[in-house]
Chain A
Amino acid sequence: MRWLCLTVLLLQGGIVLAGPAEDREAFRAFFEKRFRNIPVDAHVDGAYALDAAKREQWLAMEDFPPYEFTVDDGRMLFEEPLADGSTYGDCFENDGAVKHLYPQYDTVRGEVITLEMAINDCRIEAGEAPYPYDGEEIIQLTAYMAFVSRDNLIDVKVPREAEPAYNAGKQYYYSRRGQLNFACSHCHLQMSGMKLRAETLSASIGQVSHWPTYRLKWQETGPLHRRFARCNQQVGAESLPFQSEVYRNVEYFMTVMANGMPINGPATRK
């Protein structure tokens, strides 16, 4: 009886949050309805799933992908022995093909661990200094690990202890921010498929599948959190440091929404 009363009170207050599985179902249903002629999993290609002409140009570019050297450099780094003689292969199974399993929630540390953090944990354990999160080595390594993880389906778990982190990421994603008063969801849910100047706004679902990404605007391969920071700045909000707790939680939420979709990173985007 007490639980029933509490549930009624919570419902009245409008503070009941759906769980990750229900969220993902509703998320997929939203895009199925919005883009009836496009299979949901095709959104891993971002705006190129929505614009046939641009897709053609993009596919031509993929013949000689600009991120190729980054992947090659990442492979060399991955195979190089660390200070104690171990390699990254000792930390990551399947020769590093684990991108689809990150981010993970570490119940002992009580926080979301991204692939970048796991790489640095591996380095510290081997007696090496951690890489800076905006440095090229971590991008090379994650580019290589994304490459060898291609076609693996994203499978990120949300244990019960992780729900506060998941919900924090979810709240951030849907909250208006900055002087322009935009939430991430305004561009990538409500206005997905529409034009922002000459660019088509990609759908939110599957956006995490292809990082790190070579952006023509950057003229280099960069991490997902760099894109988060730029999104913040574009709406006039102060951005946060790469791998900050907030950005890791947002990545966690977005990746859970993309569960079941294939990894296709690294990629090229405008």
Chain B
Amino acid sequence: MRRAIIFTVLYGWCLAAAAEMTTAEINVQIAAARALYEEAKSGHHAWIATRRLLEDAEAALDEGDRAAAEILAQRAYKTAAASVAQMQREKTAWQKRVPGN
């Protein structure tokens, strides 16, 4: 029984370690988020939240806090993707708000 518990704990720890992103992977995630942020910015739809998350993710990585950097990079990516989706949607959606339309 004791052996089974130890095995389960070790197995779980190995899975978690395997799931954690490497520094290179986090950098890729940050770069992908930044590319989307720049795309939104070129259409005047960039969000302040994305910029701050990107800055925080890079700072966490510089400090060697990979776990925090990973979460922040993922959040930056999600907000950047949402801002690009907003930009795409608003290419036509704005017209419905014009009085008389």
Q: How far is the CA of A17 from the CA of B99 in the complex (A)?
A: 12
B101 neighbours in A (Cβ, 8 Å): 18
A18-B100, A177-B86, A246-B44 are known contacts. Are A183 and B94 too (CB-CB below 8 A)?
A: yes
Q: How far is the CA of A174 from the CA of B79 in the complex (A)?
A: 21
Interface string of A1-27 (1 = CB under 8 A from B): 000000000000011011000110111
B97 within 8 A of partner (CB): yes
Let me know if B47 and A176 touch, CB within 8 A: no
Let me know if B94 and A171 touch, CB within 8 A: yes
Sort chain B's interface into a size bin: 20 to 34
Let me know if A26 and B44 touch, CB within 8 A: no
Let me know if A26 and B100 touch, CB within 8 A: yes
B49 within 8 A of partner (CB): yes
Q: How far is the CA of A68 from the CA of B86 in the complex (A)?
A: 43
Return B44 CB to nearest CB of chain A, in Å. Answer: 6
- Scan residues 165-199 of chain A and give those whose CB is less than 8 A from a CB of chain B: 170-172, 174-179, 181, 183, 185-186, 189-190
Q: How far is the CA of A30 from the CA of B82 in the complex (A)?
A: 31
Let me know if A237 and B99 touch, CB within 8 A: no
Return B6 CB to nearest CB of chain A, in Å. Answer: 46
Let me know if B49 and A179 touch, CB within 8 A: yes
B86 neighbours in A (Cβ, 8 Å): 176-177, 181
B48 within 8 A of partner (CB): yes
Let me know if B41 and A238 touch, CB within 8 A: yes
Q: How far is the CA of A176 from the CA of B46 in the complex (A)?
A: 11
Let me know if A179 and B79 touch, CB within 8 A: yes
Interface string of B84-101 (1 = CB under 8 A from A): 001001101111011111
A22 neighbours in B (Cβ, 8 Å): 100
A175-B90, A246-B44 are known contacts. Are A29 and B49 too (CB-CB below 8 A)?
A: no
A240 within 8 A of partner (CB): yes
Among candidates A170, A176, A233, A240, residue contacting B98 with C-beta atoms closer than 8 Å: A170
Q: How far is the CA of A178 from the CA of B89 in the complex (A)?
A: 13
Let me know if B92 and A14 touch, CB within 8 A: yes
A236 within 8 A of partner (CB): yes
What are 17 of the A-B contact pairs (CB < 8 Å)? A18-B101, A23-B100, A26-B98, A26-B100, A27-B99, A30-B99, A171-B94, A174-B95, A176-B89, A176-B94, A177-B45, A179-B47, A179-B49, A189-B97, A236-B47, A238-B41, A238-B51
